[in-house]
Structure 1
Amino acid sequence: MWGIRLIYNSEISLSRQIFLSFMERILTGEIKQGEALPSTRELAKGLGVSRNTVCEAYDMLWTEGYIVSRQGAPSRVANGLHIKHKKAESPKDKKREQAQVLWDFKTGQPDLTHFPWQLWSQIMREAACELPIRELEYSGPKGYEPLCEEIAQWLFRSRSMEVSPEDIFITSGATQAIRLLVEILHKDGQPFALENPSHPGIRTVITDKGYPLLWMPVDGQGADISILKDKEISAVYVTPSHQFPLGGILPARRRAMLLSLAIEKNFYVIEDDYDSEFRYSGAPISPIYSMDSSHVIYVGTFSKTMFPALRLGFAVIPKPLQGKWKHYRNYMDVQNPVFEQAALAKFLQKRKMDKHVQHMRRIYGEKRNILLSSIEHTFGPSAHPWGDDSGLHVALQFPGMEFGYQFVRDCRETGIRVSPLPRYCLTQTEHTDKLLMGYGHLNHIQIQEGIRVLHQLIKFNNPQV
């Protein structure tokens, strides 16, 4: 009756099914405004349900304004409810279905198969059981204090950094830290200085706010700091321990110049230390923060040391900025979930992080060696790796070649995902002879096969290779 079909074994009550059926037909105009609905007794008889069920449905329609009723008169559809929907236009050119990615050289992806998931689950359970009830209240923008204390000790063990726990603020990864710092450090009319090339996400965070940028050229030793000498800027963002994406290490002379300018011109340096745990020849590089912490904001994350979905990072905030940080964080999302913070504190306190990083450093070092030896064996002198012996990616230079959008499309159709360097640059005409290749999440066979297929594809387009 009235096109209403009831499902008796549904989790939705019969009265609500009647309500939803009328609502949908009223909104689409199938039932016109002013049209009278059947009496509750008539509809109940036609549907084979109790009158109380229909009365409950009509009451919902009346309460939400879909019908109007008067004593002794039939219920009628209210005015102004018909919503005219435009039909979705089908695209003129359907995108071709992309081939399955078989060899995915994306960057920044750790190997999750070696993470101690059983141990982590156990620690999560322990943290949940031991967490005091008071920690389930709003705790504010600082973060779980035991985690701040463990991070301070972790930084001392892994990087020889002396940091007070009261200066450590927990974040939802490094991206949130950068977004907050852009808000805090912005000065009207003064640009943020970024490396060129750099991660597109960083410049997006800044340009989305409409703030200007100043680009620092990058060579084999990182950013050229001299370009800042005569400039007034809001802040400088750098990746000094392993420049992303080219991989250079910012030398002490450039670091000293950057700190001197920061003190002289009163700006802050945002130091993003995104993967310095994974260095395969020697100890991790000392951060700029260790030289002078007065004008440096150190940003770290556990996305690569543990797993990206954890969404926990931290920032070491100088005291003059802590008031603003708390204000902006309070009105962003207040705090991170406490259970993950408590578990991570235990993971660090039990030295499980130290053991895991040591284990993964060996595994990633082997993968890097497999990648580089495969490249040397396959490409010979026509491919040249850039950067320090660290991290989870390699920048490869192929002198005399150019890799554009067509090359990326050809790779995807072949089942390969690689990133040409120009997508990380100010313009698409820079570093056109370089590819960025991540390897952390790939096994040895995937690396070797992927390099072989990549060589065939490049050789097809460049017979001289």
Structure 2
Amino acid sequence: MWNIILKREKEISLSRQLFYSIKKLILEGKITAGEALPSSRGLAKNLSVSRSTVCEAYDMLITEGFVVSRQGAPTKVKEGLYLEKYHTKAIANETSQPSFSTDFKTGQPDVSCFPRYLWNQLLYKSCEKLQDKDLGYFTTAGYEPLREEISQWLFRTRGILAKPQDIFITTGTTQALNLFVQMLSKEGLPFAVEDPCHLGIIEILKNRKIPFLGIPVDENGIRTEQLENWDFSTVYVTPSHQFPLGGILPAERRAELIRLARKQNFYIIEDDYDSEFRYGGAPITPLYSMDCESVLYAGTFSKTMYPALRVGFVVLPPPLHAQWLHLRKYFDVQNPIIEQAALAEFLSQRKLDKYVQKICQLYGEKRQLLLKSILQCFGKEVCLLGDTSGLHLVLQIPGVCFNEGFIAKSQAFGIRVYPIEHYCIRKGNHSDKLMLGYGHLHVDEIHQSVLRLYDFIMKNSIY
């Protein structure tokens, strides 16, 4: 009857299969409004199932309002359930990622080196130690032992004093920036961002329809003198390793930025995205160390551990604590507890310190191989910009123009690489520069990747 086919080998029960089948026929109009369903006994015999299976399916139809049943009367289909077929436009599968034979993507660490066995042990042991209360809605601020360990981590790796009560756990810098934009925006005043800068903050501001102004960047970071003649709600900077050009904001500009923040009453967002990886000395001390009242510090473990961990943190002055907690509570409440507990133990045992030391040495070797390959392929006419830190470098080829069209052409050729212009608000000032990410590259593929990029540029008469 109705060509219903029930499959006994499926995980879905026969009664639910029958419910879905009749529901579908009703919505398609193949069982019309007012039409009586067959008796449970008759349908059971027809489908070779027990009567109780049919009764369960009918009960589900009654509960969800598809049919009505009255004492002594047959079960009938309700009115107004027919839905005409609706054809939607095909939507591209956003989850599929194109593959590239040569990939200089930025911000991707080498996760193959991460100590998975140790991490798995910590996850298990941390879960065992957690109490029942920890598995509930515990605190929006974050797991207290983790906040304490991050405080110590910042002191021994960055030299800054951050109290545990000023540290709040996030799911990463993107979430932190979203909440900062909500907290700090002022009617009629723009955000100031570096130009060029990370596209993430630009997209967040655009999505919230908040005006922003790009402040030019040179080899030393944001040009603070350009801020003097404007009023801002907030200034966003990457002073320890400017993204994407790689400069370090010098002390005099840092002091000038703080003076302006105090004078004009705005906050500074400091995005410290990868300064752990420095190959020519100790990590740069954050701007936060100069003024913990004007600077909001955002850090992440996505680069030092692995991006899918989704754990970061912010350091906030006390006047912003209540507002942050309120917004975070109605954003997503809190981070998963087990990962926080495991990370607290990872920090407590100094395992992260040792891992960063190990991986930093590997990244330094990759950087040297990349530099050597660039000089071999492109020659000494090119320039390499930025501090010896992070997971990318900037290649400048004087006289060459890398625009948005270059991105499409290179990707069609199987190469992913982005010009600095891609990150610029005002176009035209950095058209001869490319950003080459190398953190994820295998040592054995670096030279071949550079050679392939060089061949592409030569064949397309760009160089």
Give the equivalent residue in structure 2 for 1:284.
283
What are the residue-to-residue correspondences of 1:206-285 with 2, within 5 Å?
206-285=205-284
* CA positional deviation for 1:241: 0.5
Q: Tell me the alpha carbon deviations over residues 352-404 of structure 1, each in whole angstroms, 9 at most, x when there is no partner.
A: 11111111111001101111110011001343211111100111112111223
Alpha-carbon separation, structure 2, partners of 1:274 and 1:398: 26
**Local SS of the residue matching 2:117:** helix
Kept in 2: contact 1:393–1:437 (CA 8 A): yes
Q: What's the % identity of the aligned pairs?
A: 53
Residue 360 (structure 1) aligned with residue 398 (structure 2): no
Q: Tell me the alpha carbon deviations over residues 163-198 of structure 1, each in whole angstroms, 9 at most, x when there is no partner.
A: 111111111111111111111111111111100111
What are the residue-to-residue correspondences of 1:272-421 with 2, within 5 Å?
272-421=271-420
Residue 29 (structure 1) aligned with residue 29 (structure 2): yes
Q: AA paired with 1:190?
A: L
Q: AA paired with 2:375?
A: E
Kept in 2: contact 1:103–1:447 (CA 8 A): no
Give the equivalent residue in structure 2 for 1:40.
40
Q: AA paired with 2:39?
A: S
Alpha-carbon separation, structure 2, partners of 1:345 and 1:355: 15
Kept in 2: contact 1:397–1:433 (CA 8 A): yes
**Local SS of the residue matching 1:36:** coil
Give the equivalent residue in structure 1 for 2:63.
63
Alpha-carbon separation, structure 2, partners of 1:162 and 1:411: 46
Cα gap change, 1:344/1:324 in structure 2, threshold over 3 Å: closer, same or farther? same
**Local SS of the residue matching 1:12:** coil
**Local SS of the residue matching 2:379:** helix
Give the equivalent residue in structure 1 for 2:145.
146
* CA positional deviation for 1:428: 4.4
Cα gap change, 1:94/1:22 in structure 2, threshold over 3 Å: closer, same or farther? closer
* CA positional deviation for 1:99: 6.7
Q: Tell me the alpha carbon deviations over residues 229-271 of structure 1, each in whole angstroms, 9 at most, x when there is no partner.
A: 1222111110001000010111111111100011111111111
**Local SS of the residue matching 1:243:** coil
Q: Tell me the alpha carbon deviations over residues 190-228 of structure 1, each in whole angstroms, 9 at most, x when there is no partner.
A: 111100111111111122111110211011111111122
Cα gap change, 1:215/1:427 in structure 2, threshold over 3 Å: closer, same or farther? closer
* CA positional deviation for 1:52: 2.5
* CA positional deviation for 1:141: 1.7
Alpha-carbon separation, structure 2, partners of 1:55 and 1:139: 44
Alpha-carbon separation, structure 2, partners of 1:242 and 1:376: 23
Alpha-carbon separation, structure 1, partners of 2:139 and 2:93: 49
Residue 162 (structure 1) aligned with residue 130 (structure 2): no
* CA positional deviation for 1:320: 0.9
Kept in 1: contact 2:4–2:21 (CA 8 A): yes
Q: AA paired with 1:351?
A: R
Cα gap change, 1:443/1:136 in structure 2, threshold over 3 Å: closer, same or farther? same
**Local SS of the residue matching 1:271:** strand
* CA positional deviation for 1:414: 2.5
* CA positional deviation for 1:135: 2.0
Alpha-carbon separation, structure 2, partners of 1:50 and 1:171: 53
Report the RMSD for the aligned CA atoms in angstroms: 2.0
- In structure 2, runs of 5+ residues without a counterpart are none
* CA positional deviation for 1:342: 1.0
Kept in 2: contact 1:98–1:412 (CA 8 A): no
Cα gap change, 1:118/1:10 in structure 2, threshold over 3 Å: closer, same or farther? same
* CA positional deviation for 1:431: 1.8
Cα gap change, 1:408/1:162 in structure 2, threshold over 3 Å: closer, same or farther? same
Q: AA paired with 2:6?
A: L
* CA positional deviation for 1:100: 3.4
Kept in 1: contact 2:403–2:422 (CA 8 A): no
Cα gap change, 1:146/1:89 in structure 2, threshold over 3 Å: closer, same or farther? closer
* CA positional deviation for 1:88: 3.7
* CA positional deviation for 1:457: 0.6
Give the equivalent residue in structure 1 for 2:450.
451
* CA positional deviation for 1:406: 3.4
Alpha-carbon separation, structure 2, partners of 1:145 and 1:352: 19
**Local SS of the residue matching 1:381:** coil
**Local SS of the residue matching 2:402:** coil
Q: AA paired with 2:50?
A: S
Give the equivalent residue in structure 2 for 1:115.
114
Cα gap change, 1:216/1:427 in structure 2, threshold over 3 Å: closer, same or farther? closer
Cα gap change, 1:240/1:23 in structure 2, threshold over 3 Å: closer, same or farther? same
Cα gap change, 1:405/1:186 in structure 2, threshold over 3 Å: closer, same or farther? closer
* CA positional deviation for 1:94: 13
Kept in 2: contact 1:171–1:336 (CA 8 A): yes
* CA positional deviation for 1:430: 4.0
Give the equivalent residue in structure 1 for 2:188.
189
Q: AA paired with 2:186?
A: K
Q: AA paired with 1:151?
A: I
Mean CA deviation greater in 279-288 or 376-385: 376-385
Q: Tell me the alpha carbon deviations over residues 23-82 of structure 1, each in whole angstroms, 9 at most, x when there is no partner.
A: 011112222222232222221221122222222212211221111234443322211111
Kept in 2: contact 1:191–1:233 (CA 8 A): yes
Kept in 1: contact 2:241–2:390 (CA 8 A): yes
Alpha-carbon separation, structure 2, partners of 1:94 and 1:108: 24
Give the equivalent residue in structure 2 for 1:2.
2
Q: What TM-score does the superposition give when structure 1 sets the normalisation length?
A: 0.95
* CA positional deviation for 1:281: 0.6
Cα gap change, 1:135/1:423 in structure 2, threshold over 3 Å: closer, same or farther? same
Give the equivalent residue in structure 1 for 2:14.
14
Kept in 1: contact 2:179–2:328 (CA 8 A): yes
Alpha-carbon separation, structure 1, partners of 2:337 and 2:351: 19
Alpha-carbon separation, structure 2, partners of 1:98 and 1:284: 34
Equivalent residues, number: 462
What are the residue-to-residue correspondences of 1:120-135 with 2, within 5 Å?
120-135=119-134
Alpha-carbon separation, structure 2, partners of 1:90 and 1:266: 50
Kept in 2: contact 1:98–1:413 (CA 8 A): no
Alpha-carbon separation, structure 2, partners of 1:115 and 1:94: 30
